Amino acid sequence: MVALFVIVVMGFLASALSRMEWSNQDGLARELLGTQAWFAAHSVNEMALTQFYPLGQSAAVRTVCNEQWAEVATQVDNLMAQYPGCSAQAQCISLGELQEDQVFKLESRVTCGSGRYQVERVQDVLVKEAL
């Protein structure tokens, strides 16, 4: 009788430990994908900012957002090739005028993973250009 009791208790204990280990692995996978998505979104924003403020030239935020955004989207696709299993969407939204500046919101949305291990991160950057 005691042996049967010990076997049953040990079985329940093994089952609980197995579930805990699976839960830890699930959380670790989500954390890893979330970090990857966050860095990818940050990279997309930085790449777009280099288009808005080219070195040695005046700011071109309005021009890039309104007329050249397709080129930026192509560069985003090329950048995402460095992040396997991730996809990105970037958009530039005009928020109007603030004092004497035109303000835009640059938003990057990156999704990494698939199925139940899919994680999405969004980063926004506000940029301005003098009118």
pLDDT 10s per residue in the chain (131 long)? 778 777 877 777 777 766 766 666 778 888 999 999 999 999 999 999 988 888 888 878 888 888 888 899 899 999 898 888 999 999 999 998 888 888 999 999 999 988 888 999 999 999 988 76
| Domain region containing 55 | 2-130
Which among 99, 95, 102, 92 is positioned nearest to 59, based on CA atoms? 102
Q: 56 is written with which tokens? A: 């040695």
Is residue 131 classed as helix, strand or coil in its secondary structure?
A: coil
Number of domains in the chain: 1
Contact 47, 69 (CB under 8 A): no
